[in-house]
Amino acid sequence: MKLAICTLTALLLLSACGNNLRFEPLKSVDLVEHENLYIKDLPREITTINDSLVAFLNANEAIYILNVNSGVIINSICPDINFTQFLEENVNLSDTLIPYDLSKHPNKFVRQYPLFKINAFNYQNNLFEILMTITNPLYANGLVTIDFASIIIGCDITGKIISTDLVNLYNKKDLDHLFMAEDGLVFLPDSHVFYIKSLNKKLSNSIVSRFQLVDKTFEFTNDILFPVTDMYTLKLKESSIVNISYVFKRFYDQIYFTNGQDIYSVSKGTKLVSTSAFEASDSFHLIKSFEIIPKAINKTKINHFAYVEDVVPNPPVFNQSNKYLVITNKKGNEIQKRIPIGRIISGLSFQNNRIVFMEEVDDKILIHKYLIK
Amino acid sequence: MKKSMNLIIILAFMGFNSCNYTVYQEVSMKSASTVQVELSPELNLELDDFMSTDNENTLYVNVINGEQCFTCAPVFLMVAEKLVNANIPSENLVYIFPSKRKVLQKDFLKENFGLDINKVKVIFSDEVYDLIQNQYALEGNSNLLCLNQNKELLSKTTYQRANFNELFSVIP
């Protein structure tokens, strides 16, 4: 009888724990910033380098490498490339747009307009692959800036350039698409393939496009269309407040992305996680970023999805959104943990059994870590 | 090529925020409206240090959330230049932004407005920004307000990507 009660109690406890999810907050660390090295915007995506280092994009200007244990930014990478020379050598200028020289323009804003930006990067095998866009500002009855050419730069952790390749976004085949280079990128260096967000002409279809390195140029090879019949189209004012954009993640040979509403598997072409966004009339529920948690370190099987859920009042109100850290089961269809984590939150990174993210509070940035097994 | 360029330019004019294209154009001049607003004692108390002058000149108050207008950067910069060139006394010119970490404030002002943080009256505060937004019914937009000595609203002009003339018309 006693044994039966003990067994029953143990079973009850196990079922209460449900999935055996181990989830504990670890000590937070203050991020160290100074006048020459500071974070302009908390990043939407954080990439794990090793057990203590992460990398992220700082406002399209540089890649920062941060030690999450000490809180010190140890390096800032911005590839130094002569864009004029690169274009002359790699682009048939007579066949496309001619870059304008605005360095002597009387207007200070036009003179200072940056001629490039870093859109996204991927880190793998000690190599950064950085997607940069050369912009072409034109001043004629106003300022029009056009993305002129995109390049993939390979560099090591010190910023030393190893390779430069042109991305052919203006191929004739691509006329039906608008490529959103600033909105997510995942790169597979072994196969020289990268995936990027694009939109069709009607701007209504959610597409992931695939580019492959062919004869020294990345060329569009195909796109993968996802079910979008249930996509909610935000009005302009709403979209400027909730700021939806894509986040891509690579998990071994699989590619996943979120469009702000759901998490999809690129290879399977299916929806995995949904916030049931927009169902509630009084709020929007968005996925701002996500991470894939494996069964164990170096294991290729998924154990959980973790994501940052943003709850924005409907209609959106300035400064009134709250973020939650949500952990689901391996299929993504059951929420196992949902905790409030503040208002201004970065993307997530999974590092050595820890979920790592940053929070901006008043005048400082905190690095939070949660043990998850 | 031409086709895709047309699409890009159309998108830019539509104000498609996810794109990397910034466009602004000249528009016709409109006269600034005049509205009387009574200030709450709470707001008066909060802002008294920042929004008070000893002279009878107009008080210019820029209430700006740059993150909500992706195409306004050139407009912000040019209006700031115009206000500096108009020789408005520093006590009559105030900038109000949502909260920003101290380490960001100096460069933010320099890069977006060409201003020195030590030479302008500037407030980085979500609370003050919200109060002003609600008090003057600014509907979440960035605005240039003109107030008299009693903080009564003389004009309210919204920053948009193409309204230089409208904004310039209220600056002497």
pLDDT above 90 for A65 = yes
* Average pLDDT value for chain B: 71
CA gap A161, A190 in Å, rounded: 18
Joined tokens for residue B123: 């407030």
| Sheet with A62-67, edge to edge strand ranges | A47-48, A53-58, A62-67, A72-77
Looking at residue B160, its pLDDT comes to: 80
CA gap A99, A136 in Å, rounded: 6
Structure confidence at residue B15 as a pLDDT band (50, 70, 90)? very low
User: pLDDT tens-digit profile of A273-297?
Assistant: 887 654 557 888 888 899 999 988 7
Looking at residue A124, its pLDDT comes to: 84
pLDDT above 80 for A61 = yes
Structure confidence at residue B5 as a pLDDT band (50, 70, 90)? very low
User: pLDDT tens-digit profile of A93-128?
Assistant: 555 556 666 677 776 666 766 678 888 888 888 889
Q: In sequence order, what E strands does chain B have?
A: 59-63, 93-97, 121-124, 143-147, 153-158
Joined tokens for residue A165: 């390749």
User: A115-119, A176-180, B3-7: lowest mean pLDDT where?
Assistant: B3-7
Answer for the pair B68, B159: CB distance below 8 angstroms, yes or no: no
Residue range A227-245: average pLDDT?
53
Conformational region of residue A142, where left means phi above 0, alpha means psi within -120 to 50, and beta covers everything else: left
Contact B20 A237 (CB under 8 A): no
- The partner residues of B139 in beta bridges, in order of sequence, read none
Looking at residue A362, its pLDDT comes to: 87
End-to-end Cα distance, chain B:
45
In chain B, what residues touch A110 (CB-CB under 8 Å)?
74
Mutation pick from A240, A361, A365 vs chain B, by most beta carbons of B within 10 Å, is A240
User: A124-133, A236-245, A270-279, A302-311: lowest mean pLDDT where?
Assistant: A236-245
pLDDT above 60 for B29 = no
- Which residue has 């992305």 as its token pair? A257
The residue among A344 and B15 whose pLDDT is bigger is: A344
Q: What is the ipTM of this complex?
A: 0.74
pLDDT above 60 for B45 = no
What percent of chain A stands above pLDDT 90?
29
pTM: 0.79
Looking at residue A341, its pLDDT comes to: 96
Structure confidence at residue A243 as a pLDDT band (50, 70, 90)? low
DSSP state of B58: P
CA gap A247, A267 in Å, rounded: 16
**CA trace torsion A219, A224, A230, A235 (10° rounding):** 0
**How would you classify the pairing of strands A62-67 and A53-58?**
antiparallel
CA gap A68, A56 in Å, rounded: 12
CA distances from B116 to A104, A116, B106 (A): 24, 26, 7
Q: Which of residues 291-350 of A touch B (CB under 8 A)?
A: 318-319
The residue among A6 and A52 whose pLDDT is bigger is: A52
Amino acid at position A331, single letter: K
The residue among B130 and A7 whose pLDDT is bigger is: B130
Structure confidence at residue A240 as a pLDDT band (50, 70, 90)? low
Distance from CA of B41 to the nearest CA of A (A): 23
Looking at residue B8, its pLDDT comes to: 35
CA gap B161, B144 in Å, rounded: 14
Joined tokens for residue A123: 């880190």
Joined tokens for residue A188: 């597979």
Handedness of CA A42, A48, A54, A58 (dihedral sign): negative
Q: Ranked by mean pLDDT, which of A140-154, A277-291, A344-358 comes out on top?
A: A344-358
Looking at residue A14, its pLDDT comes to: 47
pLDDT above 70 for B47 = no
Chain A contact present for B22, CB below 8 A: yes
Looking at residue A345, its pLDDT comes to: 95
Q: How many H-runs (helices) and E-runs (strands) does chain A carry? A: 4, 26
- When CB atoms are compared, the residue of B70, B114, B140 closest to A108 is B114
Nearest CA in chain B to A36: B103
Contact B18 A147 (CB under 8 A): no
Contact B74 A109 (CB under 8 A): yes
In chain A, what residues touch B66 (CB-CB under 8 Å)?
none
Looking at residue B41, its pLDDT comes to: 56
Conformational region of residue A184, where left means phi above 0, alpha means psi within -120 to 50, and beta covers everything else: left
CA gap A7, A173 in Å, rounded: 65
- When CB atoms are compared, the residue of A183, A318, A362 closest to B18 is A183
Q: How many CB pairs under 8 A join A and B?
A: 90
* Average pLDDT value for chain A: 78
Answer for the pair A179, A158: CB distance below 8 angstroms, yes or no: no
Structure confidence at residue A351 as a pLDDT band (50, 70, 90)? very high
Joined tokens for residue A82: 């002569």
- When CB atoms are compared, the residue of B17, B25, B99 closest to A239 is B17
The residue among B45 and A106 whose pLDDT is bigger is: A106
